[in-house]
Every structure is written in C-alpha cells, then in structure tokens.
Structure 1
Amino acid sequence: MFDHFVWSVLVVPPLILLVVRLLADRLPPAGAARAVAWSAAVVAAASTVNLLLFALKALAQVPAVAGVFGWSATVVMADTAAEPWAPWLSVALLAAVVVSVTRRWRHHRDVLALGRSAGDGTALVVLPDAEAKAFAVPGRPGYVVVTTGMRSLLTDRQFDALLAHEQAHLAGRHHLLARLAGTAAAAHPALWWVAKHVDYLLERAADEHAAVEVGSRRTVAHAIGAAALATSGAGATPAGSGWSVLHVAIPQGIVPRRVSLLLTPRTWPAAGLLSLLPAALAAFSVVWSVEAAIDLVELLMAASRR
C-alpha cells in the first residue's frame, strides 16, 4: 500500500503545481480557473482518502482492534513493515486536514456573512468610507460594494469597468471556484499556490468580461491600475484579507500581469489539450486511491484467514 501513499499524498500534488505553473496564461482564464480548481479539489480529495485508508490500517494493526474483528494484527502490520511510521503519520496528517478544512470553511462562512451585512437590497451598495475598496458579495441576489474612497478615484468609464468586473464575479459564481480551490489548499499544503493561481485566473476572467462589456481593454487596465495603487499599503478589511476574489485588484505582483494581458491580448492555441493535463493528473490520483482501497480490503481479508 505504501506506493499509493507516495503517489497520491507526496507526488501528485506537487506535480499539479508544476502543471499549473506551466499552463499559466496559456489558457483562457475562465476555463483554466474551472480546470485548475476542480483538478486541485480532486487531487486533495484523493490524498485525503489515502490518509484515511492508512489511518484505518493503523487502527487495524492494533492488537485489541484486530481481536474484536478477528484478523491478525501481525499480517496487517507486515504490509508496511519497511515503513512502520507511515500509518501513524497518516493518522496525524488526517487529523490536521480535518482541522484545517473545518477552519477554512468557517472562515469562508464568516467572510461571506460579513460582506452580506453591508447589503441593503440594492445591486450596488456605496459605503461612506475613505478607504478604497470594491468587492462583489455573492448571494441570491448578489450585489457589489464600493466605498466612496474608491469611487472618487475613478472616472465614470473606469467606474463602469469596475462594476462590470465585479458583476462578472457574480454572474460566473466565482466564489464557488475560489472556495473549492481554497478548501483543496487547506487539505494539502502543496496546493496553496494552486489556490492562489485560481484567484488570479478568476480576476483575469472578470477582466476579460469587463473589457467586452465596456468595449475598451485600455479603460479596464486603467481602472485596475488605479484600484491597485489605491489599495497598496492600505490596511485590509476582514473580507479583503480573507477572500481575495471579492476584490477588484489583488496586489503584490499580479496586477502588472493583468494589465499587460489586457493591453496585449493573446490567442489560445491548443487550449483544449492543455486543459486536460491537470485533469489527467487528478484522474491518476483517483486511480491510486481506488487501488489503495482495494489493497486494504484484500489485506484485511488475508489477515482474517490467519
């Protein structure tokens, strides 16, 4: 069983990170966000299943447990005799995953509740705040929150671009992909950068939608630049620090890339084939998890005959 642990827990998650780096800006952002987020979620789930299976093996090799179920603890233990630490390490890692994912889900819930507290039933909420902030709050219906500080920095055309960007987040239900990728990152630390890249792809997808809506890629680029300059160095709100997809601009390096891609649009050759790479890795990870489950069942059946 140890080879399944190695592939699903130790090898495939870093591999998908490398694939995502390879695919950066080589796919249409909306489709890439979906492919990467779902692939990361599947890889994280497969890794967690492997940890669960090894944790069950750790329990199965405890003599008291083996006595209750009528199998040989020695036979179960012998399967990983060369790696006796692996089952018990899996118990600790599984516990860490449960705690991490639970905390992430609670954080997402609290951030969403905080954003919704600003709503008044209208599609656009303008808050009297000198700090420049703008974000979309998903829901039924969702709405856009903009502070007076942000509004005063933008021309009418730039403000239209900002609203189109945030409306794209709502229409595309981008918060679901952000939550999916964030949960995957909580389940496996190697997927942290992958989740950040999903945030970036969602921002790029909203940029492209806004450019079509306002009819000017340059106007959207200027709006992004103005928003980024206004928010750089400013203290983040709880919503902003917790859920980057709520913001029109994510600082620290990616804004120049977004502006550059708006001003120099690309074509996407072989996009369909490239998007299959993360999906193939995810499928590969699932296969290893299924085989690990089969191996555990066969091991317990063999131990029951001793």
Structure 2
Amino acid sequence: MFDHFLWSVIVAPVLVSITVRLLADRLPPGRAARVVAWSAAATAAASIANLTLFTLKAVAQLPVVGALFHWSAGIVYADTADVAWAPTLSAVLLATSVIPAVLKARRHRRVLAEARRYSDGTATVLTIPDERPQAFAVPGRPGRIVVTTGMRAHLDDLQLDAVIAHERAHLDHNHHRLVAMADIASAAHPALWWVARHVGYLVERAADEQAAQAVGSRRTVAQAIGRAALGAAAAPGLGLYAAGRGGAVPQRVASLLAPPRSATAPWYLVPALLALSSLVWTAEAAYDLGELLVKASGAQ
C-alpha cells in the first residue's frame, strides 16, 4: 500500500502545483480557473482519503483491535513493516490536514454570510454610502453587486460599467466556489498553496475578460481596474467577501492591453489527469486494504 501513499500524499500534489505553475497561463483564464480549482480539490481529497486509509491500517494492526475483530494484527502490520512509520505518521498528517480544511471552510462561510448582509432584497446593483472606493460581488439567489459611493465618485461612467461587469462575471460563473475549493484544498495540503493563490488570480482575469466583452474595450477595463486598485490602496477595504481580490493588478492590466490569449493545445488535461490518477490510486489503496483485512481474517 505504501506506493499509493507515496503517490497521492507526496508526489501528486507537488506535480499538480508544478504543472499549474507552468501551464495555467496557456489557457483562457475562465477555463483555467475551473480546471485548476477542481484539480486541486480532487488532489487534496485523494490525499486525505489515503491518509484515512493508512490511519485505519494503523488501528487495524493493533493486537487489541485484531483480537476484537478476529483477524491477525501481525499480517496487517507486515504489509508495511519496512515503512512501519507510515501508518502512524498518516494519523498525524490526517489531523493536520482535516482540521485546517474545516477551519478554512468555516471561515469562507462566515465571510460570505457577512457579505450577504449588504442587500436590500431588490436591487441587483446596490450602492452603499461609504467614501472608500470598493466594489464586490455577493453570491446568492439572486446575487448582488455592491458598489460604494466612493467607487462611483472615483470612476467615470464607462469605467464604472466595466467594474460592475467584472463583478457580474464573478456571479455568473460562481467564482466564489472555485476560490473556496482551492483555498480549502491548500489548507488540506501545503503543496497546493500556490495553486490556490493562482485560482484567485485566474478568476480575476476571467472576470476582466468578460467585462472587456461587455463594455467593448479592453483598455477601458484596464483603466478601471487600475484606478480602482489605486483607490482601494489609498483607503482600508471593507474586509468583506469577494471572489478573488485584486492581486497582481499590473499583470492583469498588461494582459488586458495585450491581445486575448487562446489555447493552442489541451494543456488543462495535464493537471486534471494527475488529479484523476491520484483518485484512481486512492480507490486501489482502499481495495488493497480490504484485501489485506480479508487475508488477515482468514489467518485467524
């Protein structure tokens, strides 16, 4: 079983992170965000599942457990006797994976609930009195776009339309879910930290591109996000939910001022296949553990 542990817990998450770093920007950002977020989530899930299986093995090889369930604890132990530390380490790693992931999920729910207070129940675009230039999307049914009076004063009409179109793109494509998935995955496995950070950038780029199509000018969107970022930097933010905040504004502006990129090859298959392989190996590890316990039971 150790080869499953090695691949799904150690190797695959690192390879997914490396391939995302090398290949994600070769894809249109909307597709890349979905592929990267789901690949990270699947890889983290496979890692946790493998750690769970090895933790169960650590329990199953205890003599008292063998006596209770009438199987040979020695046979269970012998399967990984040359790496005897692996089952015990897995129990520790499982706790350090699940607890941060649960805390991260709870944080996302709290922030989202706080943001949803900003709604009058009717307006799709809600303006709130606040001098700080801010705009953010509030997911829900229906979703809302919140714009401060400071943001309206900071931008001209066309630039404001671009910002609103950008936030609407977050709502249209449920970007908050992709960001949450990637954040939780990175909390579960530290090797996926950069992947989660890049998902935040990709959803911003995807929203930039949709806004450019909506207003008919990539330059206008570039100017809008540049001015909005400068205004936000000059005043503390509201600290509320957004699909992905700012980050790498110069790169976003540069991308908007360059021709749109189109994928020339299905690069998205690389991280997706790595994540899938990790899930397949996890399923095989579960089968192997079942076979081992059957063998141990027959030896009694």
TM-score w.r.t. the length of structure 1 is: 0.93
Cα distance between partner residues in 2 of 1:166 and 1:159: 11
The corresponding residue for 2:103 is 103
The corresponding residue for 2:182 is 181
Residue 199 of structure 1 contacts residue 244 of structure 1 at CA under 8 Å; is this kept in 2? no
Aligned partner of 2:269 among 257, 271, 276: 276
In the alignment, is residue 51 of structure 1 matched against residue 54 of structure 2? no
Deviations 1:247-273 (A, max 9, x none): 4xx13xx111111111102332424x2
Residue 204 of structure 2 contacts residue 244 of structure 2 at CA under 8 Å; is this kept in 1? no
- Say which is worse superposed, 204-213 or 86-95, in terms of deviation: 86-95
In the alignment, is residue 170 of structure 1 matched against residue 182 of structure 2? no
Q: How many residues align?
A: 298
AA partner of residue 148 (structure 2): T
AA partner of residue 161 (structure 1): A
The corresponding residue for 1:237 is 238
1:293 Cα deviation (Å)?
Answer: 1.0
Residue 28 of structure 2 contacts residue 263 of structure 2 at CA under 8 Å; is this kept in 1? no
The corresponding residue for 2:17 is 17
- Say which is worse superposed, 128-137 or 92-101, in terms of deviation: 92-101
In the alignment, is residue 71 of structure 1 matched against residue 58 of structure 2? no
Cα distance between partner residues in 2 of 1:261 and 1:185: 26
User: For the aligned residues, what is the CA RMSD?
Assistant: 1.4
Aligned partner of 2:289 among 277, 296, 299: 296
1:246 Cα deviation (Å)?
Answer: 5.2
Cα distance between partner residues in 2 of 1:162 and 1:197: 21
SS for the counterpart of 1:24 is: helix
AA partner of residue 267 (structure 1): R
The corresponding residue for 2:249 is 255
Residue 222 of structure 2 contacts residue 256 of structure 2 at CA under 8 Å; is this kept in 1? yes
Residue 132 of structure 2 contacts residue 237 of structure 2 at CA under 8 Å; is this kept in 1? no
1:225 Cα deviation (Å)?
Answer: 0.5
SS for the counterpart of 2:236 is: coil
Residue 137 of structure 1 contacts residue 246 of structure 1 at CA under 8 Å; is this kept in 2? no
CA change 1:246–1:270 in 2 (3 A) is: closer
Residue 222 of structure 2 contacts residue 253 of structure 2 at CA under 8 Å; is this kept in 1? yes
SS for the counterpart of 1:265 is: coil
Cα distance between partner residues in 1 of 2:143 and 2:4: 43
Residue 136 of structure 1 contacts residue 144 of structure 1 at CA under 8 Å; is this kept in 2? yes
1:56 Cα deviation (Å)?
Answer: 0.3
Cα distance between partner residues in 1 of 2:65 and 2:235: 56
Cα distance between partner residues in 2 of 1:291 and 1:233: 54
What pairs up with 1:183-262 in 2 under 5 angstroms? Answer: 183-232=184-233, 234-239=235-240, 243-245=241-243, 247=245, 250-251=246-247, 254-262=248-256
Residue 38 of structure 1 contacts residue 180 of structure 1 at CA under 8 Å; is this kept in 2? yes
- Say which is worse superposed, 261-270 or 82-91, in terms of deviation: 261-270
Structure 2: segments with no counterpart, 5+ residues: none
Residue 24 of structure 2 contacts residue 268 of structure 2 at CA under 8 Å; is this kept in 1? no
Residue 137 of structure 1 contacts residue 170 of structure 1 at CA under 8 Å; is this kept in 2? yes
Residue 158 of structure 1 contacts residue 222 of structure 1 at CA under 8 Å; is this kept in 2? yes
The corresponding residue for 1:151 is 152
The corresponding residue for 2:259 is 265
AA partner of residue 138 (structure 1): P
Cα distance between partner residues in 2 of 1:145 and 1:244: 10
Deviations 1:6-33 (A, max 9, x none): 1100000010011111113210111111
Cα distance between partner residues in 1 of 2:64 and 2:242: 49
AA partner of residue 243 (structure 2): V
1:238 Cα deviation (Å)?
Answer: 3.3
Aligned identity (percent) is: 57
Structure 1: segments with no counterpart, 5+ residues: none
TM-score w.r.t. the length of structure 2 is: 0.95
Cα distance between partner residues in 1 of 2:263 and 2:203: 20
1:114 Cα deviation (Å)?
Answer: 0.6
